Amino acid sequence: MVDDGRMLADVVRYLVCPVCGADLELADRRLVCSGGHAFDIARQGYANLLPGNARPGTADTPEMVRARDEFLTAGHFAALADRLAWNVSRADPAFVMDAGAGTGHYLSRILDRVPDAAGLALDISKHAARRAAKAHPRCGAVVADLWRPFPLRDGAADTVVNVFAPRNATEFHRVLRDDGLLFTVTPSPRHLGTLVEPLGLLSIDKAKTERMDTALSGYFKLDSRQELETETVLTHGEVITLVGMGPSAHHVPPERLRERLERLPEPLSAPLSFVLSTYRRLE
C-alpha cells in the first residue's frame, strides 16, 4: 500500500522536530521544519522521528508485531479494549496520544468511540508503526523513543493512553494540556494466574500498581481506578503468542514453553486481570 501522507495530516500540527524542536509540516511526502530538518514519510504512512543517535534495541521485531496483531485481532483482549475506549470517550478528547501504541489496536478502538478525535500512535518499533498507521483513518503513527523527549508540542494532547508500555511521567506531563488525563493499563497479580506456575512464567509484582503511583507522583494525581476481571480460552499456539507478548518471553525459552504446554489440556482457559487507572495532570 502506498500512502501520500494523508495518515499524518490530522496530527502533523501537533508534531515538532526531534532535532531542534521547531514545528513540523507536510511537504512533498516529508515532514520538514523551519530549521531545515526533514523526515521522510514511509510508503505505509508513518514517519520515523527518532534522533540520529537513537538505537531502537528494545523495539518489537516483525515476528512479535505479527503475533501481537493476530492475538489482539482474535478478540482475546476485547473486553479490555472496550472498557478503555469507553473510559477515554467520557473525556471527549479532540487529540489522543497513545504512548507505546504497538499496532494501534487500542487507539483504533478509542477513535471508533470518539468520532471527531484524531490519534497519534508512538512506538519505537517501525514494524509496529507500519500497522498503526493503517489502524484507523484518523490515526497517525510516528517512530519515537518513550524515554526521550516526545516529538510533540507542549500541551498538545487532551489525553495520553499508556497500555503495558513504559511510562515517562515528565513527558506525559509536558505534552498534556493543563486539564489533560492520563489513562494507564497494567496487569494485576491475578493476570494469567493459573498459567504462571505450570509454565514457569514471571509473576506480577503485587506492588506494581503502588510503584506506578509513586513513579507518577509529582506530575499526576490518581483520579479513578478500576479492575477488570475476565478469562479467555486459548489453544497452545495462542498461549505461546500471549507469552511472547510479555516479559516472560525473555525468561522462558520457546522449546521449554512447548514442553510444558504438552502437559496441559488444549484448549485451556486463562484468567485475565487488568488495572485501569486514570490520572489528572498536576500544575
The domain segmentation of the chain, as residue ranges, is 47-281
- In angstroms, rounded to a whole number, what is the distance separating the alpha carbons of residues 176 and 50? 21
DSSP conformational letter for 119 = E
Q: What is the pLDDT of residue 108?
A: 97
Q: What pLDDT is attached to residue 1? A: 41
Q: pLDDT value at position 5?
A: 53
Q: Which CATH class is domain 47-281?
A: alpha beta
Per the annotation, where are the binding residues? 17, 20, 33, 37, 77, 103-104, 191
Known binding-site positions for S-adenosyl-L-methionine: 77, 103-104, 191
Helices marked H in 90-154 — which ranges?
Answer: 105-113, 126-133
Q: Residue 236: what pLDDT? A: 94
Report the binding-site residues for Zn(2+): 17, 20, 33, 37
Contact 167, 104 (CB under 8 A): no
pLDDT at position 53, please? 61
Q: Flag residues of the chain having pLDDT under 50.
A: 1-4
